[in-house]
Structure 1
Amino acid sequence: MKRALRICASVVALAAATAAMPVAAMADWLEEAAKPLKGTEVNGIFLDRPGYRAIIKLLPEFEKKTGIKVNYEIVPYENAREKEVLNFTSRGDLTMALVDLVWIGEFAENGWLVPVEDLAKDKAITDPNLKLDGFFPLLLEAFGSWGGTVYGLPFDNYSGLLFYNSCKLKEAGFDKPPATWAEFKDVYGPKLTDASKNQYAYALQSRRGETQSADSFMRFLWPFGGSLLNKDFKSNLNSKESQAGLTFRQDLLKYMPPGVVSFDHAEAVNALAQGQVAMITEWSAFYSTLADPATSKLGDCLAVAPEPAGPAGRLPALGGFSLAVASQASPEQQKATWLFIQWATSEEIAKAYVDAGGVSGRMSVYKDPEVQAKYKFVEPMVASWQAGVPEYRPRFPAWPAISEIVAEWGSKIELGEVSVEAGAKEIGTRMEEILGKEGYYDGKKKLLQ
């Protein structure tokens, strides 16, 4: 599964075409493009996360410029995919798709998304400064592309980072965070844990569901040289490397709060924010929560670093979404939705979006000295996005079903109900049954997109 980052030919061609467009003669291209669409409504789903709250803050600007109304429903992540799938299969009212990187294969193969190339052919509704090559290549491929076609533009993008309380580390005798997972466990863990005082070194969000499968289970495969699947799409979970990573996760539990297996993102972030733990590995999007005095006690003690390296190197968690135009929308709705997506992911508003608490996928905003100085997460996040594993979680259509299996048995492993070896074998057997039924072993499906 591990491979070097590559961008498909159509992505390169489309990026080159949009980059070559002349800069707009006037700054009001958006207003001009939207004139025939005034009164059109865009319908989408947002999550209750900082990136969505950030774009909501900026929405009045878009609606004032365009006369287009953006309707959104805030849905828990755990229900978002199901809600979108039901809407698309029943040809409902959604005009915009929120696409997690692990949904892109399912959504694209079912024909629910309009390719960006088709939308960009209409110059009247395409930003002359769209610049697809202005996105981090890793993000454009992982979140927006499938089978050589770009479907969505990166939005609400995450890298796994190490957030830590520098004051607690200093009190324990450390002047920097752990560079490796081995150092994390063997050196930092014991000194930062005192169960009698309800003080722990680390909290790992592990609640059953996508949090368990993506944020907990997968986090300890890649850095240890393991992976979910091998090159033939057979289970790789019982390999020496994968077993080492999953066993390491179990060993870390002694330095975590009781009940951590039920922690979701909110509980892990709060544990650091309120001083119960000294370190968490969390998505970059949670920086604004940890830096907010209204929700966090950290103040100047908040510090950020890349995730620790394992025996296979530093291979941090990768997550995020793209926004795409839904094929079920009317022609007018598709145009209006395309205008909104371009605006929401544009270089023009990237700084305002970051200032409002979002994490942009645009490279240029992180070169701004003011942004670099203001936000501690920028340097480690950008470093993480220079190289990575697009298949950190498999992006094929079978992932949602496999994720449920990983979540169930990954939780059982972490709770000690089954051994690492037995749990991994069970996941592998059930996973291969799903892939076999869907034609991944008889040539009916492409194994790697």
Structure 2
Amino acid sequence: MKNRYRQAAVALFGATVSLVAASNAAAWTLKEAAAPYSGTTISAIFLDRPGYKAAESLIPQFEKETGIKVKWDVIPYENTRERQVLNFVSGGDQDIALVDVVWLGEFASNKWIVPIKTFTDNPKLADPKLNLPGFFPILLNAFGTWNNTIYGLPFDNYSGLMFYNQCMLKSAGFNGPPKTWDELLNVYAPKLTNASKNQFAFALQSRRGETQSADSFMRMLWPFGGSLLDAKFRSNLLSQQSQAGLEFRQKLMKYMPPGIVDFDHAESVNALAQGQVAMITEWSAFYPTLTDPSKSKLGNCLGVATEPSGPAGLKPALGGFSLAVNAKAPKKKQEAAWLFIQWITSEEMARPYLEAGGVSARTAVYQDKAVQDKFAFVKPMVTSWQGGVPDFRPRFPEWPAISEIIGEWGTKMMLGQVSVHDGSVEIGKRMEVILQKAGYYDGKKPLLK
């Protein structure tokens, strides 16, 4: 599936917001807008990641200015979707929805989240400085926009990057990281692996679940020109390009730590931080962890680059979330939740959020040379975002069921319990059954992405 920007829709929406802003700019302040909601408590789900800790450190500022109390539960990523779906269905008390790129279609199609137009059309709630075009287009589209409607604002967004131990590479005779996946496998990996010393070239987070399906399996398709589905939503896993990417992953495993199929993000990041591996491809959000002396031994040895290129070029992974308003929440809490979402993702808060350890989706903050010099991940991340991502993980409502299939059979592939070819056949067959039942092949459902 090719990534198609919905620039016209965003531009039209931006024009509408600009009209509201023009009439409202002189008078609007967050404090005055929030006055009717003072004393209201809104609830959210956060993850145990740097971007959420950054938000937590800034929330007291919002609470002091608005009188709105923000509370949150920190839960593991793998439990987040299920927890929220149960909350939506049961009418629970979660007011802010945390929307992963692959949950957007499900949440929006079920009308569990509120289009932001509900709030931006209200001059009492709409910050004149919202500036939707100030978000990276790929992020506003991928994480917030479904079927030409904006539901959420990008939050905790990141590109896949290569983090590496410069000192280990230098000791092995390398002046920088590999530029291509082929170079990583055939040139770097043999010299950086010494299993007898528990030292390995690379770690690819691959734990069964969304980590396996998105961070491991899909990551190896795109650079080789492969994809999960073709233009007609049929499996593309048996294409020469897709097979090449998945076979490459199998070859690379000999240079990864034992038990790599049990590595989640924390294990992958820690393996680099403690000197067990020389390179990882991980989300830019983990830069604060790798630069924290209490969690990482890397110090000045940390290097950051774009992910390696494959035969199809630079095709980095795209990850992250948007914050949206829960449609099941009471109206007053919906509006208070919107004020928080609008504030935490604003251009005004982009620099404080970045300084606190988050990754902003705003373009302006990364144009500051001081920011580029201070945060080594900025340039490769912006390069990745500006270059575009070739293929979102499918964002349709059926993704969670398909992800489970990939998690199961992708793990079996890595463990050698099934060949890459046979595993691809099983995934394709089971995936197409789901899509058939959903109506994608009989014209009952448009091929939304």
TM-score, normalization by structure 2: 0.98
Partners of 2:395 and 2:387 in 1: how far apart?
A: 18
Q: Say how many residue pairs are matched.
A: 447
Check if 1:380 corresponds to 2:380. Answer: yes
* 1:308 aligns to 2:308 (yes or no): yes
Aligned to 1:423: 423
Contact 1:218 1:392 in 2 (8 A): no
User: Which one-letter code corresponds to 2:285 in the other structure?
Assistant: A
* Cα gap change, 1:439 to 1:226, in 2 (>3 Å): same
User: CA 1:12–1:390 in 2, change beyond 3 Å: closer, same or farther?
Assistant: farther
Match of 2:359 in 1: 359
* Cα shift at 1:441: 0.7
> Residue 114 in 1 paired to residue 124 in 2?
no
Q: Does the CA contact (< 8 Å) of 1:19 and 1:133 recur in 2?
A: no
- C-alpha separation in 1, matches of 2:155 and 2:216: 23
Q: Deviations over 1:393-421 (max 9, x none)?
A: 10000000000000000000001110000
Alignment of 1:248 with 2:248, yes or no, is yes
1:372–1:379 contact (8 Å) kept in structure 2: yes
Change beyond 3 A, Cα 1:226–1:142: same
The one-letter code of the counterpart of 1:403 is: S
Residue 443 (structure 1) shift: 1.1
Give the distance between the partners of 2:313 and 2:18, measured in 1 at CA: 34
1:125 aligns to what SS in structure 2? coil
Cα separation, 2, equivalents of 1:168 and 1:65: 48
Provide the residue aligned with 1:61 in structure 2.
Answer: 61
Specify every segment of 5 or more residues in structure 2 that has no aligned partner in the other structure, as ranges: none
Which amino acid is 2:2 matched to?
A: K
Q: What's the CA shift for 1:2?
A: 2.4
- Does the residue aligned with 2:124 lie in a helix, a strand or coil? helix
Partner Cα separation in structure 1 for residue 252 and residue 405 of structure 2: 23
Q: Indicate the residue corresponding to 2:180 in structure 1.
A: 180
Specify the alignment match of 1:50 in structure 2.
50
- The alpha carbon displacement at 1:10 in A equals 2.7
The amino acid across from 1:346 in the alignment is S
Give the letter for the 2:293 counterpart: P
Q: What pairs with 1:244-283 in structure 2 (closer than 5 Å)? A: 244-283=244-283
- Aligned-pair CA distance for 1:77: 0.6
Give % identity.
Answer: 65
User: How far apart are the structure 1 equivalents of 2:390 and 2:95?
Assistant: 27
Classify 1:135/1:52 alpha carbon distance in 2 versus 1 (closer, same or farther; 3 Å): same
The letter for the 1-side match of 2:6 is I
C-alpha distance in 1, partners of 2:49/2:156? 9
Alignment gaps of 5+ in structure 1: none
CA offsets, 1:14-38, max 9 Å, x none?
A: 1233346348446x71001001111
1:22-421 to structure 2, matched below 5 A, reads 22=22, 24-25=25-26, 29-389=29-389, 391-421=391-421
**Offset from partner CA, 1:295-351 (integer Å, 9 cap, x none):** 000000101000000000100010110000111111111110110000110111111
Contact 2:227–2:391 (8 Å) recurs in 1: no
Give the Cα separation in 1 of the matches to 2:390 and 2:162.
20
Query: What do the CA deviations read for 1:413-436 (whole angstroms, capped 9, x no partner)?
Result: 001110000001000000000001
Q: Per-residue CA shift, 1:188-231, capped at 9, x if unaligned?
A: 11111111111111011000010000000000001100000011
Residues 49-99 of structure 1 show CA distances to partners (whole Å, capped at 9, x for unaligned) of 111110000000000000001111111111110111011111111111110
Task: Name the SS for the 2:157 alignment partner.
Answer: strand
After superposition, the C-alpha distances for 1:157-179 in whole angstroms (9 at most, x for unaligned) are: 01000000111111111111111
Say which SS state the counterpart of residue 295 (structure 1) adopts.
coil
Aligned-partner residue type, residue 252 of structure 2? L
Q: Does 1:10 align with 2:22?
A: no
Distance 1:198 1:96 in 2: 43
| 1:387 shift after superposition | 2.7
The amino acid that maps onto 1:371 is V
Say which SS state the counterpart of residue 102 (structure 1) adopts: coil
**AA in 1 matched with 2:356:** A
**Residue identity in the other structure for 1:183:** E
State the partner residue of 1:433.
Answer: 433
Residues 208-260 of structure 1: per-residue CA shift (max 9 Å, x gap): 01000000000000110000001110000011000000000000011111111
Which amino acid counterpart does residue 429 of structure 2 have in structure 1?
T
- Measure the CA separation in 2 of the matches of 1:352 and 1:269: 24
Secondary structure, in 3 states, of the residue corresponding to 2:73?
A: strand
What is the one-letter code of the residue matched to 2:336? A
SS of the residue 1:213 aligns to: helix
User: Counterpart amino acid of 2:228?
Assistant: L
Letter in 2 for 1:121: D
TM-score by length of 1: 0.98
- Compute the displacement of 1:104 (Å): 0.4
Q: One-letter code of the match for 1:154?
A: P
Q: Which moved more, 1:304-313 or 1:35-44?
A: 35-44
